[in-house]
Structure 1
Amino acid sequence: MSSPIMAVLFDLDGTLLDTAPDMADAANKVLADYDYGPLTEEQIQANTSYGAKGLLTAGFGTVPSHLDHSQLRQQFINYYQQNICDGTSIYSGITSLLTYLELEKIPWGIMTNKPGFLTEQLLPFFPELMKAQTVVCGDTLSVAKPHPEPLLHACELLGASHHQCAYVGDIEKDMIAARAASMSGYVAGWGYIGERHAPDSWQASGILAQPESLIDVLEHQKSLR
């Protein structure tokens, strides 16, 4: 039997929050600056979890050689910061899940590759997420996912063993990071999983259809004690 889950870490974009409307809007504004058309819904769904790079690469196809990647990223960030929470929302079921974790005294936190300054700007719009006992971002350490170190660092801050921690995320590198950190990895099936993705092949501990599905996992775990 695998180790019991005694702590939970969450990805942010596509797991706790649906940030696609505002991320896509920023990307579309950058694309428009260079006379490119807007992203399709399929491109948005498949690439939001990959941030500015994923969305802009999808929009440009291949970024033209005369355009500077760092400049494009900065343009994206400038637009995104102006409207960081116009269309962003917390996924249905997340509040119920977080309430359950708090009632069960299961520590939880956030481990996202989103830069710290953007995370700090966004989280206060969602009081329930401000209750996270730790927040580790893509630039908190010198490495980011899929490297396991940020997950291990977040576990340490929670005071939890990584062997008894679950990580919930919506892209393959989240599961790669979880395995590398010897954690249980669960796929957020409600997140930004595009048609070309194959979560069944990600070697996850499970694919959650909705946030409350993790409650079922934890309740089943309790019944086996």
Structure 2
Amino acid sequence: MKGRINAVLFDLDGTLLDTAPDMANAANMVLKEYGLPPLSDEQIQANTSHGARGLLKTGFGDQIEGKDIDSLRLSFLKHYERDICRATCMYEGVVELLQALDAKNVPWGIMTNKPGFLTHQLFTYFPALQQTRALVCADTLPVAKPHPEPLIHTAELLNVSPRDCIYIGDIQNDIVAAKAAGMYSAVAAWGYVGKGVDPLEWEADLVFNKIENVLSLF
């Protein structure tokens, strides 16, 4: 049984940061090497939160058959690391939200499926995110989302029971992970929710259309 919401956990890509332009650029560089066209805006919107594999699989389509996806991912990471923050930006209202949570003494943390070395590199550009009391990345533990353990670990770092946390993310796997962790779940509808996708079907506890609406919890 879930309790009262006392802490907020955030996804990163498509929730706190709009990383789509730089992630898409890295994917397009790989696609170009194979003579394939760049991703469409719709493909980028629907797949950025699924990371390198999501972007590459949609870009290669049927041609992904027989390809070494791990090798393609390494190529993606090389391009992405080199140009990680050319166009990435924080969503409008994020700084104000985080400051408001701090002012209300509401602990907050970040749980992302982005690899740790890229997350830390990206954080150098965004001081507000460096203030997080807990950061768990894709490779912090042996498992990643949608497995619930990374979210449970993030709650432990905040010294908060998972049942008293809410996790906010923009893809269905975020909601699946939160439910499995025994947390409240919320959709960041301002993020990379794909065209034609109805987040209400994910059965999250809440759907936030605007970042500032998160403060209605406290």
TM-score, scaled relative to structure 1: 0.94
Secondary structure of the 1:139 match is: coil
- Structure 2 counterpart of 1:197, one-letter code: V
Q: How does 1:63-142 map to 2 (within 5 A)?
A: 63-142=63-142
Q: Greater shift after overlay, 135-144 or 63-72? A: 63-72
Secondary structure of the 2:211 match is: coil
Equivalents in 2 of 1:134, 1:2: separation in Å? 21
Structure 1 residue 192 displacement after superposition:
0.3
Equivalents in 2 of 1:88, 1:163: separation in Å? 33
1:36/1:186 CA distance change after superposition, 3 Å: same
Equivalents in 2 of 1:2, 1:27: separation in Å? 40
How many residues are aligned here?
A: 218
Structure 1 residue 66 displacement after superposition:
4.2
- Structure 2 counterpart of 1:21, one-letter code: P
Structure 1 residue 93 displacement after superposition:
1.0
1:170-201, Cα deviation, whole Å (9 max, x unpaired)? 00010001111111101001000012422101
Equivalents in 1 of 2:63, 2:119: separation in Å? 26
Q: Greater shift after overlay, 197-206 or 43-52? A: 197-206
TM-score, scaled relative to structure 2: 0.97
- Structure 2 counterpart of 1:143, one-letter code: V
Map of 2:170 onto structure 1: 170
Equivalents in 1 of 2:188, 2:119: separation in Å? 19
Secondary structure of the 1:144 match is: coil
Structure 1 residue 104 displacement after superposition:
0.3
Structure 1 residue 203 displacement after superposition:
1.2
Residue ranges of structure 1 left out of the alignment (5+ in a row): 219-225
Structure 1 residue 96 displacement after superposition:
1.1
Equivalents in 1 of 2:2, 2:70: separation in Å? 43
Map of 2:11 onto structure 1: 11
Map of 2:30 onto structure 1: 30
Secondary structure of the 2:77 match is: helix
Map of 1:221 onto structure 2: none
- Structure 1 counterpart of 2:47, one-letter code: N
1:2/1:153 CA distance change after superposition, 3 Å: closer
4+ runs deviating over 3 angstroms: 63-66
Secondary structure of the 1:207 match is: strand
Map of 1:214 onto structure 2: 214
Mapped pair 1:154 → 2:154 = yes
1:90-146, Cα deviation, whole Å (9 max, x unpaired)? 001111110110000011110001111111111111000000001000111111111
Equivalents in 1 of 2:163, 2:2: separation in Å? 9
- Structure 2 counterpart of 1:85, one-letter code: C
Equivalents in 2 of 1:120, 1:217: separation in Å? 29
Equivalents in 2 of 1:154, 1:216: separation in Å? 23
Equivalents in 2 of 1:178, 1:44: separation in Å? 24
Map of 1:184 onto structure 2: 184
Map of 2:58 onto structure 1: 58
Computed over aligned residues only, the root mean square deviation of the Cα atoms, in angstroms, reads 1.2
- Structure 1 counterpart of 2:60, one-letter code: F
Q: Greater shift after overlay, 157-166 or 57-66? A: 57-66
Equivalents in 2 of 1:217, 1:109: separation in Å? 16
Structure 1 residue 69 displacement after superposition:
1.2
Residue ranges of structure 2 left out of the alignment (5+ in a row): none
